[in-house]
Amino acid sequence: MKKSNNGGFSLVEVVIVVAIMAVLSAIAITAFLTLVERAKLRADDTQAANIKRTLSAYIIESNDVKVQELLLEGSDGANDVEKILIALQKQINGKYGPYLQGATDPSVGVKDFSPKGRNRGGWLITIDEETMAVSVEPTASSDELKFIP
């Protein structure tokens, strides 16, 4: 009598393959999550640069270094930074803007401009009144607007 050989895998071989797949998937998931977080941080940096450019353009065009018109125009915002972001999506005094995307797309709101990275809760906007220089950085805390006299 001949023994038939089914050519199947033994239980040990299957367990080894499953263990290898588990290790590979753990490595892949970790790498993917790291990649996603780095992409969010880069997106925050790009968004900060966009806000800086648009705010700088408004200040230079309007000579409104204290951004008083923006604070009035964006009165729906919860804080000064949100007011600025809302106003930059509109036309200000019929002369300036709109500077940010929301003007042509009503589905875009102030939350679309908030930082997305982990441990980033808002924007720190610093305006140098003398040089009209603008700085925008994501922060771990909430939004903040500062003026340098």
The pTM of this model reads 0.79
In a domain? residue 3? no
Q: Which residues of 69-96 are buried (b: 16+ CB within 10 A; e: fewer)?
A: bbbebbeebeebbbbbbbbbbbebeeeb
Quick check: is 42 in a domain? yes
Helical (H) or strand (E) element with 118: none
With respect to residue 5, please indicate whether it lies within any of the assigned structural domains.
no
In the chain, the number of structural domains is 1
In a domain, 107, yes or no: yes
Q: What's the N-to-C CA distance of the chain in angstroms?
A: 99
pLDDT in tens, the chain (149 residues): 566 666 788 999 999 999 999 999 999 999 999 999 999 999 999 999 999 999 999 999 999 999 999 999 888 888 999 999 989 988 888 888 888 876 566 677 788 888 999 999 999 999 999 999 999 999 998 899 999 98
Range of the domain at 108: 11-148
